Amino acid sequence: MTAMRNQIRTLKGICTDVSSEGKGIVKSGKDICFVDGLFIGEEAEINVLYQRAGVYFGKVSKLIKQSKDRIQPKCKICTSCGGCQYQQISYQAQLEYKTNRVKNALTRIGHIKTKVNPCIGMDNPYNYRNKIQVPFQKDRKGNIVFGFYRENSHEIIPIKECAIEDKRAASILWDVKELLKEMNIPPYQEDTGRGILRYVLIRTSYHFDELMVVLVTSTMNFPGQRNFVDALVKKHPEITTVVENVNPRHTNVILGEKEKVLFGKGFIKDKILDLTFEISAKSFFQVNPVQVEVLYKTALDLIDKDTDKLVLDAYSGVGTIGLIAAKNAKHVISVEINKDAHKNAIENAKKNNVNNIEFYCDDAGKFISSFEGDLDVVIMDPPRNGSDEKFLSVLLNKKPKKIIYISCGPETLARDLEFLSKDYEVTYVQPVDMFPMTAHVETVVSLINKRYSE
């Protein structure tokens, strides 16, 4: 990557579309420029900052014509933190952008003509995140700061509160900072490798009054730890557990291997539909507790309610979808490549007394190619880069009647659907907004084997 941070040229133009990362697209002659915080229909003067793979990247220097959808963002740093690409446009417009992103990907990349339903949004699209992780540092003047990294950097932009995080997090973070100061516990400094506290991770339960604070530190048992935890829990009785996670390495990965429970049970519980899950510091858990139910319900409603079928839940994470699907199935087989998630999935089945499910820790493609027997329904929920030919070609051979594809990347979804469209008909496409204020969009797709649809 050759990224130059100084302005390399200026440009004036109209934004005609948005990229998959939520940047405004401006075309000028043969040149294409991706512009942060510029929206469809807007005209602007642009400082072009760098070029990558033949595309320019820039920032607005003067907004000439404003979109009718532009609103005042709730968060002052949304233009520099890079987390919320869409806070500056109305929620209705965000949903339209997302629906169109899915439509465009399906027609342009996948050549799929099926109708795309309007993206399902949230009643309150703010403060939805149940997990927040913030770095702590000392600024140039030696003051302790916490916040988010400026996009593509490790410089902290201090925050008071984040518009999409759970409301309970902000005052806890603030008091962590005050207690560090009072008790002389230094934050970690990346350049010297000295100091103690690196990150604070907060996980909240939506359905229960439970809240976890994870202190990510550079060494185990930092001096003053007992007093620090006592004081924090006293100020915030809503905290039900505190965990220390030790990450001594000089790395961008937030969590380390070793952990110690400093207060409470070391996990929190939450519910998705009828099932309860235990979530520890490192567990993967969907971050939008309201929309995950909408997403799963949308997907599971597409499966017949009879209980006589064999269901494969591929890319299953901690087993959530498969466990819920098991209620209306003879048997469910789940496959997930990550060992920790696989272990969590087995625990989750035990805790919820679901017995008609088996878990395999393997690559989905490898697993399914050696699987003998007929599959009735395949639920697949791969990461952003989509599935692979190995997995998809076995699906074409095995011919399950129905495939439910849950995707967090419309472009890779479209690519995979085109591959499957040889033998499958796409019958239903429903985008769901799991991440309001950002450019991300999740999509549920139903595919029926053409033997059954014709």
Which residues of the chain form contacts with ligand SAH (CB under 6 A)? 284, 286, 315-317, 320-321, 335-338, 341, 363-364, 381-383
Shortest distance, CB of residue 276 to ligand SAH, whole angstroms?
15
Q: What's the closest the beta carbon of residue 283 comes to ligand SAH, in angstroms?
A: 10
Length of the chain: 454
* Least distance in angstroms from the C-beta of 335 to ligand SAH: 6
Half-sphere exposure of 146 (CA within 13 A, CB side): 27
Least CB distance to ligand SAH at residue 176 (A): 29
Pairing, β 43-52 against β 144-149 = unpaired
Whether 119 is catalytic is no
Q: Which is nearer to ligand SAH, 407 or 449 (CB)?
A: 407
- In the bound state with ligand SAH, the residue whose beta carbon lies nearer, of 150 and 282, is 282
Q: Tokens for 195?
A: 């100091």
Q: How far apart are CA 33 and CA 25, in angstroms?
A: 6
Q: Which is nearer to ligand SAH, 80 or 338 (CB)?
A: 338
Name the 3-class secondary structure at 192.
coil
Instruction: Output the smallest distance, CB 382 to ligand SAH, in A.
Output: 6
Evaluate whether 394 touches 365 at the Cβ level (below 8 Å).
yes
Q: How far apart are CA 312 and CA 330, in angstroms?
A: 11
- 432 vs 440: CA distance, rounded Å: 10
Contact 41, 128 (CB under 8 A): no
Q: Which is nearer to ligand SAH, 125 or 319 (CB)?
A: 319
User: What letter does residue 187 receive in the DSSP assignment?
Assistant: B
Q: How many CA atoms lie within 13 A of 9 on its CB side?
A: 9
211, two tokens: 């809240």
Nearer to ligand SAH, 108 or 384 (CB): 384
| Shortest distance (Å) from residue 338 CB to ligand SAH | 4
In whole angstroms, what is the distance from residue 22 CA to residue 151 CA? Answer: 14
Nearer to ligand SAH, 39 or 391 (CB): 391
Q: What is the DSSP string of 53-96?
A: TTEEEEEEEEEEE--TTB---S-TTHHHHSS-TTTTB-HHHHHH
Given 81, 84, 162, 408, the catalytic residue: 408
Q: How many CA atoms lie within 13 A of 299 on its CB side?
A: 28
The smaller minimum CB distance to ligand SAH, of residues 336 and 433, is found at 336
Which contacts (CB < 8 Å, 24+ apart) does range 230-234 have?
Answer: 231/179, 231/183, 232/172, 232/175, 232/176, 232/179, 233/263
* Rg of the chain in Å (alpha carbons): 24
CB of 177 to ligand SAH, least distance (A): 32
Where in the sequence numbering do the catalytic residues fall? 408
